[in-house]
């Protein structure tokens, strides 16, 4: 709780977000949050947006729930763009707690060049905001030491590391979440290739967090949104789309992260095939009879 408050109140940008996103929500929900923060389960804390890196926490919990409903014991989670490693360590911490509550295990991978951003190639990489060398891994050894046994850092150009990596993914631990935080269009395009392996290497609904779509210069013709649009145009059975009606499903609706959550629909997954047999027929009750 103390860590959460320090994280939130420690910098001006975050304080501003609390003002715009949290204090504009109904008072009774904010009061209820205090109770959940003190006595709630980890899942309830995620429901009430009380977890550091809430955007990842929502996706990871959802991936665990989808996996559990399919009796899958383990899920792979990936962060593309690690930099100093705060996000990757957040994933490790969050998944540890989700595993305790759901029983679903996680295999975690972080991908990064290690040297910060490569050179931008043209206007599609939003060079007015991002430049070569931004966000290097500050202390690789320290980061490696901090990673738990189920997490791995894969260093190198994503264009080169991803093709080999896909071969290692097994359907026993399908990819359930990817965080795309590589700033450029061309790097994002390379990240999304991780979604083009055999269908059972993914959950039928794989969660995606797109980090860099909230800056003013982002639009569908540059950056991550362009990479997503091209992915959809190029692939008939893999489609990336915003998480359907997510805002309606959340208690706190003003928070920005909701707009960053997308999913890949694995349309060629065997669970989505007409040949897949549902075990139980669904029956609707009628309260008027
Ligand atoms: C904004 S930082 C990531 C921040 C991190 N996700 C966090 O929340 O703490 C973007 C990172 O993407 C990495 N990156 C961008 N393009 C890359 C590429 N083609 N290959 C490998 N790493 C890349 C850069 O090295 C940089 O560290």
Q: What whole-number distance in Å separates Cα of residue 151 and Cα of residue 245? A: 32
- What is residue 149's DSSP assignment? T
* Domain boundaries of the chain, sorted by first residue: 1-39, 52-272
Average pLDDT, the chain: 95
Ligand 1 centroid to 83 CA: how many Å? Answer: 5
Q: What is the pLDDT of residue 215?
A: 95
pLDDT digits (tens, 9 = 90+) for 261-270: 999 999 999 9
User: pLDDT value at position 8?
Assistant: 63
Residue 261 region by backbone torsions, left for phi larger than 0, else alpha for psi between -120 and 50, else beta: beta
Rounded Cα gap, residues 37 and 52, in angstroms? 12
User: At residue 138, does pLDDT exceed 90?
Assistant: no
Q: How confident is the model at residue 12 (pLDDT cuts 50, 70, 90)?
A: confident
For the cut 90, the answer to whether the pLDDT of residue 162 exceeds it is yes
Mutate which of 113, 159, 180, 223 for ligand 1? The one with the most ligand atoms within 8 Å of its CB, which is: 113
> Residue 2: which pLDDT band, with cuts at 50, 70 and 90?
low
Q: Which residues contact 270 (CB under 8 A, 6 or more apart)?
A: 199, 200, 276
- Pocket-testing residue among 86, 117, 147, ligand 1, by greatest number of atoms within 8 A of Cβ: 117
Residue 3 has pLDDT above 90, yes or no: no
Contact 245, 43 (CB under 8 A): no
Give the whole-angstrom CA distance, residue 183 versus residue 222: 10
* pLDDT band, residue 5 (cuts 50/70/90): low
Could you tell me the two tokens for 216? 């003013």
Tokens in use for 185? 């269009």
Tell me the pLDDT tens digit for each residue of 223-251: 999 999 999 999 999 999 999 999 999 99
CB proximity list for 31: less than 8 A, separation 6 or greater: none
d(C-alpha 121, C-alpha 123), whole Å: 7
Q: Kindly report the CATH number that applies to the domain delimited by 52-272.
A: 3.40.50.150
Q: Which atom of ligand 1 is nearest to the CA of 134?
A: 26
How sure is the predictor about 167, in pLDDT bands with cuts at 50, 70 and 90?
Answer: very high
Burial of 257 (0-12, 13-18, 19+ CB in 10 A): buried
> Ligand 1 center to residue 34 CA distance, Å?
35
Interacting residues of 249 by C-beta distance below 8 A, sequence separation 6+: none
Q: Looking at residue 157, what is its pLDDT?
A: 97
């Amino acid at each position: 709780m103390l860590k959460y408050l320090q994280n939130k109140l420690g910098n001006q940008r975050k304080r501003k977000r609390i003002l715009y996103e949290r204090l504009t929500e109904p008072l009774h929900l904010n009061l209820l949050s205090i109770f959940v923060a003190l006595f709630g389960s980890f899942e309830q804390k995620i429901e009430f947006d009380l977890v550091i890196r809430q955007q990842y926490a929502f996706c990871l919990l959802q991936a665990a729930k989808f996996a559990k409903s399919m009796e899958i014991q383990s899920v792979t989670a990936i962060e593309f763009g690690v930099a100093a490693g705060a996000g990757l360590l957040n994933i490790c911490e969050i998944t540890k707690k989700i595993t305790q509550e759901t029983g679903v295990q996680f295999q975690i991978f972080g991908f990064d060049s290690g040297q910060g951003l490569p050179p931008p190639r043209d206007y599609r990489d939003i060079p007015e905001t991002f430049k070569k060398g931004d966000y290097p891994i500050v202390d690789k050894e320290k980061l490696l030491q901090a990673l738990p046994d189920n997490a791995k850092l894969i260093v190198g150009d994503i264009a080169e590391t991803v093709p080999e990596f896909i071969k290692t993914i097994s359907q026993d631990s399908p990819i359930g979440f990817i965080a795309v935080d590589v700033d450029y269009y061309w790097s994002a395009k390379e990240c999304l290739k991780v979604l083009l392996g055999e269908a059972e290497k993914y959950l039928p609904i794989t969660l995606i967090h797109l980090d860099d779509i909230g800056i003013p210069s982002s639009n569908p013709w540059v950056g991550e949104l362009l990479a997503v649009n091209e992915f959809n145009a190029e692939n008939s059975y893999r489609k990336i789309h915003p998480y359907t009606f997510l805002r309606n499903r959340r208690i706190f609706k003003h928070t920005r992260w909701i707009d960053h959550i997308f999913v890949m629909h694995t349309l060629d997954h065997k669970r989505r095939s007409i040949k897949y047999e549902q075990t139980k027929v669904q029956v609707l009750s009628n309260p008027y009879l």
